[in-house]
Amino acid sequence: MTPRPAGAAVALALLLTGCGTTPDAPPAAGPGAASGPSTGSGVSGQVTVLAAASLTTPFTALAASFEKANPGTTVRLSFGSSTTLAQQIAQGADADLYASAGTTALQQLGDVEPTATVTLARNTLEIATPAGDPAHVRSVADLARKDVDVVLCAASVPCGRAADEVLAKAGVEAHVVSREIDVSAALSKVTLDEADAAVVYHSDVVSAGSTVAGVAIPAAQNVTLTYPLLRFGDDPATAAFAAYLAGPEGTRVLGTAGFLTP
């Protein structure tokens, strides 16, 4: 289903108020989005979901379990930069649900108005290094070393803006060798041993398992992003899957993947 533009200025203003990359950002809320049937609801049809790259692992698992419990449904997933996905929606891309990392990208939606919103989770940043940490990266300060090749997300996407904020808080000028289109691309530079460190989300370090090592960023230097889920329209299958993502099973799977509760 294609989102319909109308009166989005008010809806997005409410969503953006108090949200972003601050640790105390309150969750956005929308009517009927936070609760509802989880599985076995008897719905059918196709649900198209555009989601931040950092949600790839948990959303793929949740889509599979939802389809199994609701045999008449098909969940189509597309992952990428939150900013790019929002721009695609504004230009008419088919989307029933949109999940963003942080709220800044929502400004790119233009006049597209969500029917309902809910905050799914939160996330913090972490330094990822190749397994064994061969460059001996122990802190944010080590990212300034000339012998440490650092990869960040592009400055225009949420993980890049958040990384820049971390570096600014720490007073560190990192030895950045490349900036990637999204967090998955940044992490892949580390898993392929093409970089010594990348500033990514904690959930990405968790999902990568033993292929990377994680270096925690102190709370005083870190930032926290909220993950809003926007629903467009009132299709029963879309509403059911949105409720499933925001419900107990969605919260459990997201938590296992390294996300914080909303």
Question: Do 136 and 210 reside in the same domain of the chain?
Answer: yes
Question: Do 144 and 97 reside in the same domain of the chain?
Answer: no
Question: Do 115 and 191 reside in the same domain of the chain?
Answer: no
Cα–Cα distance measured from residue 177 to residue 123, given in angstroms and rounded to the nearest whole number = 25
Q: Which amino acid is at 198?
A: A
Tell me the C-alpha to C-alpha distance, in Å, between residue 252 and each of 24, 72, 159.
22, 24, 23
Q: DSSP E strands: which ranges in the chain?
A: 44-52, 72-80, 97-99, 116-130, 150-153, 176-180, 197-201, 212-216, 224-231
Q: Count CA within 13 A, CB hemisphere, residue 36.
A: 21
Residue 2 belongs to a domain:
no
Residue 129 belongs to a domain:
yes
Residue 262 belongs to a domain:
no
Does 188 carry a binding-site annotation?
no
Residue 41 confidence class, pLDDT cut points 50, 70, 90: low
Helix axis angle, 236-246 to 56-69, nearest 10°: 130
Question: Do 113 and 66 reside in the same domain of the chain?
Answer: yes
Task: Tell me the two tokens of residue 1.
Answer: 């289903």
pLDDT in tens, 48-86: 999 999 999 999 999 999 999 999 999 999 999 999 999
Residue 261 belongs to a domain:
no
Cα–Cα distance measured from residue 215 to residue 137, given in angstroms and rounded to the nearest whole number = 8
Average pLDDT over residues 210-228: 97
Cα–Cα distance measured from residue 9 to residue 1, given in angstroms and rounded to the nearest whole number = 21
Q: Which CATH number covers residue 191? A: 3.40.190.10
Residue 117 belongs to a domain:
yes
Question: Do 166 and 244 reside in the same domain of the chain?
Answer: no
Cα–Cα distance measured from residue 155 to residue 259, given in angstroms and rounded to the nearest whole number = 22
Question: Do 58 and 84 reside in the same domain of the chain?
Answer: yes
Residue 221 belongs to a domain:
no
Q: Provide the β-strand partners of residue 97.
A: 49, 231
Tell me the C-alpha to C-alpha distance, in Å, between residue 116 and each of 11, 35, 233.
9, 12, 8
Q: What is the pLDDT of residue 2?
A: 44
For the cut 80, the answer to whether the pLDDT of residue 33 exceeds it is no
Question: Do 109 and 231 reside in the same domain of the chain?
Answer: yes
Cα–Cα distance measured from residue 31 to residue 147, given in angstroms and rounded to the nearest whole number = 52
With b meaning 16 or more CB within 10 Å and e meaning fewer, what string describes 172-183? bebbbeebbbbb
Q: What is the pLDDT of residue 42?
A: 76
Q: How many domains does the chain have?
A: 2
Does 201 carry a binding-site annotation?
yes
Residue 3 belongs to a domain:
no
Residue range of the domain that includes 40: 8-122+226-256
Question: Do 117 and 129 reside in the same domain of the chain?
Answer: no
Question: Do 116 and 14 reside in the same domain of the chain?
Answer: yes
pLDDT in tens, 109-143: 999 999 999 999 999 999 999 999 999 999 999 99
Question: Do 143 and 233 reside in the same domain of the chain?
Answer: no
Question: Do 182 and 108 reside in the same domain of the chain?
Answer: no
Does 183 carry a binding-site annotation?
yes
Does 227 carry a binding-site annotation?
no
Task: Tell me the two tokens of residue 109.
Answer: 């939606």
For the cut 50, the answer to whether the pLDDT of residue 194 exceeds it is yes
Q: Provide the β-strand partners of residue 227.
A: 121
Better pLDDT: 20 or 41 = 41
Question: Do 195 and 103 reside in the same domain of the chain?
Answer: no
pLDDT in tens, 143-181: 999 999 999 999 999 999 999 999 999 999 999 999 999
Residue 40 belongs to a domain:
yes
219: buried, middle or exposed (CB in 10 Å: 19+, 13-18, 0-12)? exposed
Q: Provide the β-strand partners of residue 126.
A: 200, 216
Cα–Cα distance measured from residue 27 to residue 169, given in angstroms and rounded to the nearest whole number = 24
